[in-house]
Amino acid sequence: MAPAQANEPQLSSSLSALDQMESSLLESIPSHKVVWLGFSQGACLACEYVARTAVPRGGLAALTGARIGPAGTDLAIAGDLGGMPVWISAGTDDPWIDLGRMQQSAAAFEAAGASVSTRLFDDSEHRIRPVEVAAVRSMLNERLLDG
């Protein structure tokens, strides 16, 4: 939860790269089949990109992730995510993710109309768990294989 300037210019560059990637994807597939997912820093970047662009997609899976920014950052999302599935998970004592920020991020996605599922694990491990893989697999199967 570093000050915004501490993440620049890398954050803006990374968000721009995701935007270019998505634009390229949308030339050949519909937006409801685009699912952003990541772990740790990748999850935070995916959360931030989806929140800032605020358009419905196939989904977002943030494994140990949350929105980016210091405490007090306005996490409101200016758009309607139209029921887009969002999965956010983390260990309750993971040293790399602020649990409060994760929960605030989930609430912001829900307030923007996303269908949010959160999962907390009673541990301090910074890793991807089998249940998280299963949840992501389920989301991908549902969103990508369905019409």
Tokens describing residue 64: 């140990």
* 99-125 residue pLDDT tens: 999 999 999 999 999 999 999 999 999
CA distance 138 to 135: 5
The CATH number assigned to the domain holding 78 equals 3.40.50.1820
What is the pLDDT, as a whole number, of residue 146?
A: 65
Using the predicted structure, report yes or no on whether residue 8 has a pLDDT greater than 90.
no
Beta-bridge partners for 60: 36, 86
Q: Which distant-in-sequence residues (6+ apart) come within 8 Å of 53 by Cβ?
A: 19, 22, 79
**Nearest by Cα to 122 from 86, 87, 89:** 89
C-beta atoms surrounding 107 within 10 Å? 14
Amino acid sitting at position 141: N
Cis-peptide, bond into residue 9, ω within 30° of zero: yes
Predicted pLDDT at 99 = 93
Whole-angstrom distance, CA of residue 100 vs CA of residue 41? 17
Segment 10-23 shows an average pLDDT of 96
The number of distinct structural domains making up the chain is 1
- pLDDT band for position 147 (cuts 50, 70, 90): low
Which residues form the domain of 84?
Answer: 4-145
> Taking 70 as the threshold, does the pLDDT of residue 94 lie above it?
yes
pLDDT band at 6 (very low <50, low <70, confident <90, very high): confident
| pLDDT tens-digit series, residues 22-31 | 999 999 999 9
Place 2 in a pLDDT band, splitting at 50, 70 and 90: confident
Sequence-distant (6+) residues with CB within 8 A of 18 are 36, 45, 46, 49
Hunting for tokens 């409060």 — which residue is that?
100
Give percent above pLDDT 90 in the chain.
88
